[in-house]
Structure 1
Amino acid sequence: MIKPQRLYEGDTVAIVSLSSGLAGEPGIRWRAEQGIRHIEETFNVKVKVMPNALKGIDYLYDHPEKRAEDLNSALKDPEVKAIICAIGGKESIRLLPYVDFDALTNNPKIFSGYSDTTSNHLMFYNNGISTSYGPALLTDFAENIEMDDYTVESIRKTWFSTEPIGDIKPAAKLRKYGLQWDIENKEKRRPLLDNAGYESINGSGAAEGHLIGGCFEVIDNIRGTELFPDLNQFDGGILFFENSETNITPETLEDNLRSLSMIGIFDRVHGIIIGRPESGIYYEEYKEVWQKILKEAGREDLPVLYNLSFGHNEPKFILPYGLKAKVDTEKLTFEILESAVTD
């Protein structure tokens, strides 16, 4: 994988809305501004909002080409060193016909987002560029009062350092989901909940491999499209999956995991990490579904860690696509064994 260059203080970071245009809605604009301020103050970088990023839900839904135009421009802009997505959504796959893939491959840059941004990550991944399944503007960067230290530490280790990222500890606390994004809540902190830590739910021992995955619902929805990775890209991988706030039923998870099993993905990977279900909903039920499907696949040996803090969790750590990682179900540890960026 081609790695982007690291960030330095004083560098410029671009904001794009490649999925939902929520950041530009009148009632949410304050939150986008709060996130921008936190980026600037916490990391001492400059923020450049791309021309269409704040044009609202309806305009950006009707104009996927404008969303792609912002991405293309940010990639080609020599001033921009990193690109951060405003939020996820439902249909960023619609950008595919409009993305300038020459610009994408010739200008590797830090690129961050999660959820529906999985589709965008795979545009990079399928072209050999490592990106960050990580924080978004309206959620992590715009956390009320201040950003979470756990998230800030992950950003610094992943984007600002060329040292191997190393051991990823469980988040000691989790943010309770559900604080309404109304301006009257601007000075209100979300409650923190205790986190139980990592849990081994399948297999034994340790496994190493390259990171590949994303939001489960998006991965499932893009099956059959050109964005879905070739099966050989799963060979020897560490698969990472997490689910969105829609909280699909355990029955739906079972059906969709079985489909992925039948195309052979679980036969190819070396290990799996699974993000904590959003708000802990279906925590035990999802775990039982995974165990059932892996037993059906004859992969009761496959090391699987559960309850990791990425994706639809705050705080979160960053998963850089394609990097070598290690899962250990005996020690209950997860490590990223190389740096995500270069000098």
Structure 2
Amino acid sequence: MIKPQALKKGDHVAIVSLSAGVLGEEFAKHELNQGRKRIEELGLIPEFMPNSLKGIEFIKNHPEKRADDLKQAFADNQIKGIFCAIGGEDTYRLAPYLLNDPEFVKNVQQHPKLFTGFSDTTVNHLMLYQLGLTTYYGPNVINDLAELDTELLPYTKKTLKHYFQNPATTEISSSPVWYEERTDFSKAALDTPRVSHPETKGYQVQRGSGIVEGQLLGGCLDSLNSLLTDKRYNDEPKINEKYHLIPDAKEFEGKILFLETSEEKPTPEEYCGMLKKLKSKGILQAVVAIITGKPQNEVHYDEYCQILKEETEDTKTPLMTNLNFGHAYPRTALPYGLKARVDLDNRKLKIIEPYFAE
């Protein structure tokens, strides 16, 4: 994998709206301001790409403009990192504009930059993974940097600070606290804390013992499922097949699969169906272990664990659940394509190579 450099204070970072255009809406102005301020507090200089603040309708109707913003970010040598504004549901529409552009491909490979986001951003991660770039399934602007409380969530802040560091190995430990999603994102909610709970479970091993190592690959289960079905958009599976957005089962051999569920909180039946879809593609059977993120608000957690065990019973795949990536709060960052060690006996996860270029 091609790794970007770690961030440094004074670096310019691009903000892109590759999925939904919420960041440009008047109702999200306080979140835009909060996000900008927090980026600056990290010592970074935010650059909002030309189309990133044009709002929901424009962004929805112009996938080519979303793609232009990402192209510009990779083409600009001054920009060292790229932060996604938020997820959404149709970033797959950028594939033709990006992957058919040799200039973009060359820039990604010759001028690698830190790229972070989650949810629908899974699909952007897979595009960049295909080009050989390590990206980070982690914080975005609206969900994390624009946290409405007076401070960033401490665990998420540590994740963001890690984007400036490059140790030889990185232990990703369980957060001592988890938080519920907000029900009010309005200006009135500024300076109010999230509902929080002590973490009573930590990482949970559902199956397996000893140590398993492999490169990380995965994302949001709902997003992967959408690429494989026409549940949301008729052309999505066609685009997936044409551009090989989800790698074939062979690419998953020897990998540690990371999966998490969206804020839509799929029912246990839906969760089961999505796992079966991955299984039908040979993906579940190919991997050496599966790790899953805590579901948002812990909804359906026990049922999900049971279903995951049932769907992997035939392969006896090692399983560790309740990690802090994905749609629950707070958030860590998982690096695509880098080697990880799952220690099932001690319930630990360690990335056993540097996140960034040395």
Provide TM-score, normalisation by structure 1.
Answer: 0.96
Contact 2:166/2:355 (8 A) holds in 1: yes
Cα distance per residue 1:186-229 (max 9 Å; x no partner): 12111221112110112222200000000001112213512111
Contact 2:169/2:354 (8 A) holds in 1: yes
| In 2, Cα distance between equivalents of 1:6 and 1:166 | 14
Q: CA deviation at 1:14?
A: 0.8
Contact 1:6/1:162 (8 A) holds in 2: yes
| In 2, Cα distance between equivalents of 1:190 and 1:255 | 32
Q: Which amino acid aligns with 2:221?
A: F
1:130 pairs with 2:134: yes
Structure 1 counterpart of 2:9: 9
| In 2, Cα distance between equivalents of 1:164 and 1:84 | 24
Q: Where does 1:153-168 land on structure 2 (aligned, <5 Å)?
A: 153-157=158-162, 159-168=163-172
Structure 2 counterpart of 1:204: 209
Q: CA deviation at 1:304?
A: 0.9
CA RMSD of aligned residues (A): 1.2
Structure 1 counterpart of 2:285: 267
Structure 1 counterpart of 2:155: 150
Structure 2 counterpart of 1:82: 81
| In 2, Cα distance between equivalents of 1:342 and 1:122 | 20
Contact 1:270/1:303 (8 A) holds in 2: yes
Count of aligned residue pairs for this structure pair: 338
Cα distance per residue 1:76-111 (max 9 Å; x no partner): 001100000000001000011111323323321100
Which one is further off, 197-206 or 79-88? Answer: 197-206
1:308 pairs with 2:323: yes
Q: Please point out which of 232, 238, 259 is paired with 1:241.
A: 259
Cα distance per residue 1:256-276 (max 9 Å; x no partner): 212222322222211111000
Q: Please point out which of 248, 251, 254 is paired with 1:230.
A: 248
Segments of 5+ residues of structure 1 without an aligned counterpart are: none
| In 1, Cα distance between equivalents of 2:161 and 2:253 | 30
| In 1, Cα distance between equivalents of 2:322 and 2:32 | 29
Q: Which amino acid aligns with 1:60?
A: I
Q: CA deviation at 1:329?
A: 1.6
Q: Please point out which of 231, 245, 256 is paired with 2:274.
A: 256
Q: CA deviation at 1:114?
A: 0.2
| In 1, Cα distance between equivalents of 2:11 and 2:339 | 27
SS state at 1:27 partner:
helix
| In 2, Cα distance between equivalents of 1:264 and 1:95 | 26
Q: Which amino acid aligns with 1:207?
A: V
Structure 2 counterpart of 1:26: 26
SS state at 2:349 partner:
strand
Structure 1 counterpart of 2:36: 36
Contact 2:2/2:109 (8 A) holds in 1: no
Q: CA deviation at 1:165?
A: 3.9
Q: Which amino acid aligns with 2:208?
A: G
Q: Where does 1:167-206 land on structure 2 (aligned, <5 Å)?
A: 167-195=171-199, 196-206=201-211
1:292 pairs with 2:310: yes
Q: CA deviation at 1:328?
A: 1.6
Q: Which amino acid aligns with 1:323?
A: L
Query: Which 4+ stretches in 1 moved above 3 angstroms?
Result: none
| In 2, Cα distance between equivalents of 1:189 and 1:333 | 29
Which one is further off, 12-21 or 201-210? Answer: 201-210
Contact 1:4/1:342 (8 A) holds in 2: yes
Which one is further off, 95-104 or 323-332? Answer: 95-104
| In 2, Cα distance between equivalents of 1:306 and 1:86 | 27
Q: Which amino acid aligns with 2:344?
A: T
Structure 1 counterpart of 2:353: 338
SS state at 1:310 partner:
coil
Q: Which amino acid aligns with 1:105?
A: Q
Contact 1:205/1:303 (8 A) holds in 2: no
Contact 2:221/2:261 (8 A) holds in 1: yes
Contact 1:161/1:339 (8 A) holds in 2: no
Q: Percent identity?
A: 39
| In 2, Cα distance between equivalents of 1:114 and 1:63 | 21
Contact 1:3/1:130 (8 A) holds in 2: yes
| In 2, Cα distance between equivalents of 1:257 and 1:112 | 25
Segments of 5+ residues of structure 2 without an aligned counterpart are: 99-103, 229-236
SS state at 2:52 partner:
coil
Cα distance per residue 1:55-92 (max 9 Å; x no partner): 10001001111111110000000110000000000100
